[in-house]
Amino acid sequence: MEDIKDEYTQDGTTDIHGNPAIKKNTGNWRACPYILANECCERLAYYGMSTNLVNYMKDRLHQGNVTAANNVTNWSGTCYIMPLLGAFIADAYIGRYWTISSFMIVYILGLTLLTMTASVKGLKPSCQNGVCDPTRAQTAAVFTALYLIALGTGGIKPCVSSFGADQFDDSDESEKKRKSSFFNWFYFSINIGALIASSVLVWIQTDVGWGWGFGIPAVVMAIAVVSFFMGTRLYRHQKPGGSPLTRIAQVMVASLRKAGVKVPADKSLLYEITQKESAIQGSRKLDHTDQFKFLDKAAVETQEDKARSPVNPWRLCTITQVEELKSILRILPVWASGIVFSTVYSQMSTMFVLQGNTLDRHMGPHFQIPSASLSIFDTISVIVWVPIYDRIIVPAVRRSTGRERGFTQLTRMGIGLVISIFSMVAAGILEVARLRTVARHGLYDVTSGYVPMSIFWQVPQYFIVGAAEIFTFIGQLEFFYDQAPDAMRSMCSALSLTTVALGNYLSTLLVTIVTSITTRNRKLGWIPDNLNRGHLDYFFWLLAVLSLLNFGVYLLIAKCYTYKKTVEDEKTTTNDVELQ
């Protein structure tokens, strides 16, 4: 029996044919290169198309600063809200592998159409003397392509990180340790793609042409598809557990129907199946927790329930099913605290680029670096910090705390929130210095030239954002996968991505409100088309203050958080309860 246990995974994963996964032939790091290569290429395609999008909106669709920035953040927000759809399909019906495979096709269709709008006569806007005049149909074609891409990314983003983590068996201690490292290298692969996108592809878009600049991401996305399918025989698959929304609804309905029922003091009397495996396919049993006690009523077995056969899931739910809903409710406040951080992060593709457009972009006498390419320093920051964090910081902190991961997941995210405040402070200080230079040289109405300040003064703000990502975004990836119920991991990964969506929408809302208030009485406002007459620094100060307030709320949330406990792994997870 022991030999059989060692031969197969114990977390319910299967191979591509639906048979129990054999440890030595599937999963682990042997399967991850194909997943990481897929993610690297997909992110190269995404960032290659999105990094410079605000300038495409301005130059080719003839939009102003506010309109272009809001269109980019609205679209980017949609890219991060659509994962809820992809995650639901993956967890409820077809699994992560087939969801990724299906949505990659939609993604390629969107990239192909976007390439055509920048290169095919009739779809491409006509331009004279550097001024473009797109028709409504041409603008509609661009937005159709962009939102097809948003739909495509919705099926990929929530599933790839979870699918990669599925390759490590939680019941095997050696594999469990490797899984934490996987999330670091997963984010590392994202930024290798972003590095190429923000340097080479942005330069191609600016100096060679938008047709080539969008066409190359389409080709790279095709390479991502090939890479993903090459690893098919090595992958481990978690079976879809049915609709998570239905299970949540059943707990809520059962609790309400038994509102007058008393919960027994002995929690072992609450309903749970006697088999070792959970009643929910693809999920381990969860241990009872004391929070949200009203929901425990759904697991109280009355005489009427005992007389029924089979059990009515809308009247009686297992402890594991109740704890699934409790896990989601505990996660939500932590999730909400990431929205302001994502608003800060979204400035790299909007306000940082617009600020960079006004600075001296020369590198030598003949070459100008595109302002959007400065995001390369965010990427370099991530690439530098990932191995430092994984190989130096974690072992050092581990010796101090005794925790395998070094920091708790909540501590890691909190450190990133603090670092993000300094990125807005750096951006605000630079803007103050830029406006003083404008005043000193009398450049208020010079819109076609540049302020005599090097664009490389923006490097600190990008680099600080990158450092914050290492702690907060990777911490979120790990936290939402680890704290999610087993059969809801794609959904919870998607939930973590929605913080980026809502962060972009919050950025749009803030820009809209700020513009509305500051342009009263015919004033130019904080963010006019001519930034030399504006006060972009005030907007950065606003974000810094909001980030500080958000961190204060986060400390309260983290202090009250209770980590998920599985029946098999209660002791290990209890060690990580406190935020250090």
pLDDT greater at residue 420 or residue 199 = 420
**Segment 404-414 mean pLDDT:** 86
Residue 521's pLDDT is 83
Mean pLDDT score of the chain: 84
pLDDT higher for 276 or 338?
Answer: 338
Read off the pLDDT of residues 32-87 as tens digits, 9 standing for 90 and up: 888 888 888 888 888 888 877 888 888 888 888 788 878 887 888 888 888 888 88
The one-letter code for the residue type at 487 is A
Residue 572: pLDDT over 50: no
Alpha-carbon distance of 297 to 293, in angstroms, equals: 8
Residues 134, 326: Cα–Cα separation, whole Å? 51
Listed as own residue / partner, the contacts of 511-516 with beta carbons closer than 8 Å and 24 or more positions apart are 511/66, 511/69, 511/70, 511/73, 511/539, 512/66, 512/70, 514/539, 514/542, 515/66
Give me the CATH code for the 2-240+337-561 domain, please: 1.20.1250.20
pLDDT computed for residue 510 by the predictor:
92
**For residue 571, what pLDDT is reported?**
44
Average pLDDT over residues 148-166: 87
Q: Which residue has the higher pLDDT, 570 or 191?
A: 191
Can you give the pLDDT at residue 343?
93
Q: Residue 515: pLDDT above 60?
A: yes
Confidence label for 275 from pLDDT (cuts 50, 70 and 90): low
Give the mean model confidence (pLDDT) for residues 472-483: 85
For 537, how many CA atoms within 13 A lie in the half-sphere containing its CB? 14
Q: What is the pLDDT of residue 425?
A: 96
Query: How many Cβ atoms are within 10 Å of 223's Cβ, its own excluded?
Result: 16
* The pLDDT of residue 410 is above 80: yes
Confidence (pLDDT) at 463: 93
Distance of CA 8 to the CA centre of its chain: 32
Question: What pLDDT score does 276 carry?
Answer: 54
Give the tens place of pLDDT for each residue, 519-538: 888 888 888 878 888 888 99
**Is residue 344 pLDDT above 90, yes or no?**
yes
Over residues 346-399, the pLDDT tens digits come to 898 888 988 888 888 888 777 888 887 888 898 889 888 888 888 888 888 888
Band of residue 145 on the pLDDT scale cut at 50, 70, 90? very high
Q: What is the mean pLDDT of residues 458-482?
A: 89
- For the cut 60, the answer to whether the pLDDT of residue 5 exceeds it is no
Q: Does 1 have pLDDT greater than 50? A: no
pLDDT of residue 281: 58
Structural domain spans, the chain: 2-240+337-561, 244-324
- Check whether 138 has a pLDDT greater than 70: yes
> SS3 of 561, please?
coil
Whether the bond into 217 is cis, omega within 30 of 0: no
Least confident among 100-104, 257-261, 567-571: 567-571
> Residue 542 above 90 pLDDT?
yes
Residue 354 and residue 431 in contact, taking contact as beta carbons nearer than 8 Å: no
- Residue 576's pLDDT band (cuts 50, 70, 90): very low
pLDDT at 277: 54
Q: What is the pLDDT of residue 413?
A: 92
- pLDDT higher than threshold 70 for residue 172: yes
Q: What are phi and psi of 565, to 5 degrees?
A: -125, 125
Element housing 24 (H / E): none
pLDDT tens, residue by residue, 282-320: 567 778 888 888 888 888 888 887 777 778 888 888 888
The alpha carbons of the chain give a radius of gyration, in whole angstroms, of 25
Residue 4 has pLDDT above 60, yes or no: no
Mean pLDDT along residues 190-218: 84
Q: Which residues face 14 on adjacent strands?
A: 20, 237
